Structure 1
Amino acid sequence: MKKLLYIIICTVVFSSCTKEEKPIIISAENYHQTVDKITDIMVHDIFSPPVASRIYAYSNLAAYQIIRQENKDLIDLTSNFEELQPIPKADSITKVNLKLAALVAQMEIGKKLIFSEELLTSYRDSLYTSWKKTNEEEFNTSKEYGLEVAQHLSKWIDKDNYKETRTMPKYSVYSDDPGRWQPTPPSYMDGIEPHWPKIRPFTLDSASQFKPAPHPEFSLEEGTAFYDELIEVYEINKKMEEEGDEAEEVKIAQFWDCNPYVSTQRGHLMFATKKITPGGHWMGICKIASKKADLDFAQSSYAYTATAIALADGFISCWEEKYSSNLVRPETLINKYVDENWKPVLQTPPFPEYSSGHSVVSGAASIVLTKIFGEEFSFEDDTEVKYGLPVRSFKSFSHAASEAAVSRLYGGIHYRAAIENGLVQGKNLGNHVVKDLNLQPLTY
């Protein structure tokens, strides 16, 4: 009897020890899922494209700064960042699960920057429960380190001037100048984020560092460059309307819509359709590329973080030009001077026209992704499937960026100059990001 009791006690003790020593396994898929969760919450909260880019940049940077300690081949992306001190180092990498700590920091920073904290907290707590059951000591040590890094980065994040811009005055639209931007149907919303150029950039010397070539001088006289571009928008959209929804141009416009808030009016009822932002679409492309290349956790974090930084600086650069040019949208002029019943294929976003945000950030992101994955990296883009749109195929990131840019012409919301000059603006900025961060291609 005593011998049997001894065996039972030894078995229980041995099982307990074995459970405690079981390591917590975290894969690249866990990283992708966390980025997707933050994206879903941003869609829920209806963040504007510039604000969404800030959330992507900071949350991914928090994870990357931790996980790069595990892969010495990955560079420090923050060496040139203004006022950012190096993160605290883990006391012992043998005791800290750096992947777990990276996800903790990523979620903690994400939770700090979104509105619906409870949605991310619920997701986080489900992971915490699983990790804790697997190895409580490893979980606690790693979580503590992740929170320490998040707290360290939060102090730097709070100094980027975002909070100050929340209390700055709204954009004034009262003007007799016919070339100045005016709110557009159906909601006639105020111009969003007019003070975004005041946000601290990551790699730029100033928000105006990559100012695009000027748009054609405003004129409503036939034969002038500006008037020709205005009529081009009208005529392309009329032709698309005749061809119907099966026209390739319509499909391209809808695929790259990426308007986070499309308002629909039916009588006195107004409701919104929520979607990802342009930045969210390119982060989705980054995920597709990372999975195709079979990148590990640290490599995926590198790709996401570099892409997010390019997007964030792209929006700062673009918004500097938008609220400097203050150019009127095609819809306003066409309805007033050409055809009062005309409507664009896409809903016109609530901010000035020049330059095209899609063109700028797509150009920037495509340059960074090309540097990381290579020139001829083809992929199947299923980012929009969850919003009811089919997969589109691209032979390269540059191919995708060019289509994203021209989609704005097909959508009826931009003139050609904003698209073409914006794409150049974005690619110039992207090349600067590659150089400033010293980005290196990944071997996969």
Structure 2
Amino acid sequence: MQFLSRFILFIFLFSFLSCNKESIRITPNDYHLMVDKLTEVMIHDIFSPPVASRIYAYPNIAAYQVLNSENGVYQSLENQLNELKNISTISFDKKANKQLAALIAYLDVAKEVVFSKEKITVFRDSLYNNWEQKNNTEFTASKKYALAISKSILEWMHADMYKETRTMPAFNVYSDDASRWQPTPPAYMQGIEPNWSKIRPFVLDSAAQFKPIPPPKFSMEKGTPFHTELMDLYNLTNEIIKKGNDSEEVAIAQFWDCNPFVVVNKGHFMFASKKITPGAHWIGICKIATQKSNSDFEKTVFVYTKTSIAITDAFISCWDEKYRSNLIRPETLINKYIDEDWYPLLQTPPFPEYTSGHSVVSGASAEVLTDIFGDNFAFDDTTEIPYGLPTRSFTSFRDAAKEAAISRIYGGIHYNAAVENGLTQGINIGNFIIKKLEF
């Protein structure tokens, strides 16, 4: 009888303690850790800038929806983003932890958008084990809710035409048109993502909604607007070269390079130098801004989500124009007509020139971040430290966007029109997203 009483008491105490475990504490830094891990895997897998933008957006949207599908701090994106509807109506279990569920949903979508799924899975499983040990009841309820939401997001994602574009024809580089883009050294890669305009935008009505004005008409005749821009670029870059590698222009160009396709030749070997993309740089600025402002978990997810949506739509809009105008790069023309020994400070990326992707993406990102944090949000940009580049300081997000845009001219890879019109294109996209989405 005494044994039975002790056994019952043991069961009671065990049940009591199990049911009264502390809630799993989640902080904004936990979310930064998710994003940083995804960036790490993306660098390893070497994704193009447009594809990388898509990879950031969907996990952020999944996490955001977990927090805001039901009684959230912000508005649900259901029926706001193109074709996003019928999100799982699973009721939120009071035993679940929404912030924990947001991390789980993020990881569930993240592993489906990269090549190295096992890297995300191993990372996820280690976290799962930790959370399960801390509070199995809360973890199980949170996971159930998270996976129901992420399942709906993945179904919506798979209908955005990405899979279909994987099998569409490659870009035809053969043409008698002297203005048409041609592959550039050292790898002479084909134009990447020529069908990216067919990807479903998140907020834009179509890829062509913010079609920029055309570039100056191609002409190698002296005095024409196009030839003048070409010669201005050639003369400016020569002046920068004379200043040496310690010049401010070189520092700016290198800081904003963000080219994941840089090819390095060492003897008989050719390999890629892995870097982040321009979109990833602005995702890094999201981290800096949320940490500086002491943003809570919900606001941190909101900032990443809104910015990644803007970045993705900016790439869709920019790539729509790139393969419409198919404009030749400065390097090709300068080597052929002006100076065969000239080469740009930065390696020319493998796609047409107009408009400048950095300019479009930076313009859109800066408008969104300015809308959230204000126009005079000064910050130290440490994003490039892991890649051997020092910190640069900015008085505002727009200040950073302007520098990102001009960096492409200093680098010798864009004409002035691509930068100026690209920045305007991005600003228009950013403002459209700000006005159309209700957060």
What band does the TM-score fall into relative to the shorter chain? over 0.9
**Residue of structure 2 equivalent to 1:128:** 128
**Residue of structure 1 equivalent to 2:341:** 341
Change (3 A) 1:86 1:371: farther
Q: Confirm or deny that 1:407 pairs with 2:403.
A: no
**Residue of structure 2 equivalent to 1:277:** 277
Change (3 A) 1:388 1:8: farther
Deviations 1:29-75 (A, max 9, x none): 11111011111111110000100111111110000001125764312
**Residue of structure 2 equivalent to 1:58:** 58
Shift of 1:19: 4.8
1:369-384 alignment runs, 5 A limit: 369-384=369-384
- Inter-partner Cα distance in structure 1 for 2:145 and 2:386: 35
TM-score (norm 2): 0.96
Deviations 1:175-230 (A, max 9, x none): 12111000000000000000000000011111111011111111111111111111
Gaps of 5+ in 1: 440-444
Shift of 1:13: 5.8
Shift of 1:90: 4.7
Contact 2:201/2:316 (<8 A) preserved = yes
The one-letter amino acid of 1:21's match is N
Deviations 1:87-127 (A, max 9, x none): 22453442111111111111111111100001001110111
The one-letter amino acid of 1:260's match is P
Change (3 A) 1:101 1:222: same
**Residue of structure 1 equivalent to 2:428:** 428
- Inter-partner Cα distance in structure 2 for 1:72 and 1:152: 18
SS for the counterpart of 2:182 is coil
1:76-225 alignment runs, 5 A limit: 76-225=76-225
- Inter-partner Cα distance in structure 2 for 1:18 and 1:214: 69
- Inter-partner Cα distance in structure 2 for 1:78 and 1:43: 31
- Inter-partner Cα distance in structure 1 for 2:246 and 2:381: 19
Gaps of 5+ in 2: none
SS for the counterpart of 2:272 is strand
Shift of 1:241: 1.1
Contact 1:20/1:136 (<8 A) preserved = no
- Inter-partner Cα distance in structure 2 for 1:21 and 1:270: 59
SS for the counterpart of 1:344 is coil
The one-letter amino acid of 1:76's match is S
Q: Is 333-342 or 83-92 further displaced after alignment?
A: 83-92
Q: Percent identity?
A: 57
Contact 1:78/1:437 (<8 A) preserved = no
**Residue of structure 1 equivalent to 2:28:** 28
Contact 1:19/1:134 (<8 A) preserved = no
Shift of 1:295: 0.9
Contact 1:70/1:98 (<8 A) preserved = no
Shift of 1:316: 0.4
The one-letter amino acid of 1:323's match is Y
SS for the counterpart of 1:271 is strand
The one-letter amino acid of 1:85's match is K
The one-letter amino acid of 1:199's match is I
Q: Confirm or deny that 1:296 pairs with 2:300.
A: no
The one-letter amino acid of 2:231's match is I
SS for the counterpart of 1:380 is strand
Alignment: residue pair count? 437
The one-letter amino acid of 1:232's match is D
Contact 2:307/2:368 (<8 A) preserved = yes
**Residue of structure 2 equivalent to 1:244:** 244
- Inter-partner Cα distance in structure 2 for 1:401 and 1:426: 10
The one-letter amino acid of 2:424's match is V
- Inter-partner Cα distance in structure 1 for 2:231 and 2:366: 30
TM-score (norm 1): 0.95
Change (3 A) 1:146 1:72: closer
**Residue of structure 2 equivalent to 1:442:** none
- Inter-partner Cα distance in structure 1 for 2:416 and 2:311: 22
SS for the counterpart of 1:130 is helix
SS for the counterpart of 1:112 is coil
Contact 1:68/1:298 (<8 A) preserved = no
Q: Is 312-321 or 15-24 further displaced after alignment?
A: 15-24
- Inter-partner Cα distance in structure 2 for 1:11 and 1:389: 60
- Inter-partner Cα distance in structure 2 for 1:8 and 1:245: 77
Contact 1:321/1:354 (<8 A) preserved = yes
Contact 2:367/2:398 (<8 A) preserved = yes
Q: Write out the 4+ residue segments of structure 1 that deviate beyond 6 Å after TM superposition.
A: 5-9
**Residue of structure 1 equivalent to 2:13:** 14
- Inter-partner Cα distance in structure 2 for 1:303 and 1:366: 12
SS for the counterpart of 1:77 is coil
Change (3 A) 1:197 1:92: closer
- Inter-partner Cα distance in structure 2 for 1:179 and 1:338: 16
Q: Is 183-192 or 146-155 further displaced after alignment?
A: 146-155
The one-letter amino acid of 2:17's match is T
Q: Is 187-196 or 257-266 further displaced after alignment?
A: 257-266
The one-letter amino acid of 2:63's match is A
Contact 1:67/1:298 (<8 A) preserved = yes
